Amino acid sequence: MTEARFRTIVIALLVLNIFVISALAGAAFTWLTERATPANLLPLAAEHLPAPQRAAFQRALADARRAGRDIRLEAQQAKIDAASLIGQQTLDPAALNAALAKARQDDFAMREKIETRAVEFVATLPLEARRLLADGLIQRLAPKPSTTK
């Protein structure tokens, strides 16, 4: 391999790595700054639990999500239906409201399933672990100071 070809490959790899690192940094920034939804707060709040309890808690939440897969798919379909109704030539507000209500109902049903499973699991934890989980939730939910003037 000639020296010029080697330099070209090295430069190309450096440019590629810069793009990959930038994409990862952007994804991390988005993940860290994105406002967490209540369904996402539970696993994040468990970060201070001891590793075995944290893993068991995350498994319990994952099991609840798997068990509610049909509900989640119905909610997605209702949202697709609503989007389809919006794009039609003549808007049917009643049908659109019905599709959105179905999606909202399914989203709440899924959230209820996950929260119920979380409560069942938390009931098995000792007081100190429950306090750690509560502190994690409070930290996640507490308002952040404004950075704008």
pTM, rounded to two decimals = 0.61
The confidence score (pLDDT) of residue 43 equals: 66
Distance CA 66, CA 54 (A): 18
Burial 57-93 (b: 16+ CB within 10 A, else e): beebbeebbeebeebbebbeebbebbeebeeeeeeee
| CB-CB neighbours of 103 under 10 Å | 19
Widest CA span in the chain: 71
81: left (phi over 0), alpha (psi -120 to 50) or beta: alpha
Distance CA 49, CA 128 (A): 9
Q: Are 39 and 131 in contact (CB under 8 A)?
A: no
111 or 39, higher pLDDT? 111
pLDDT digits (tens, 9 = 90+) for 14-71: 888 888 888 888 877 776 655 545 455 666 777 878 888 888 888 998 899 899 999 9
Residue boundaries of the structural domains of the chain:
1-34, 35-141
The confidence score (pLDDT) of residue 70 equals: 94
Q: Which uninterrupted H or E stretch holds 55?
A: helix 51-67
**Residue 124 confidence class, pLDDT cut points 50, 70, 90:** very high
Average pLDDT, the chain: 84
Q: Residue 141: is its pLDDT beyond 80? A: no
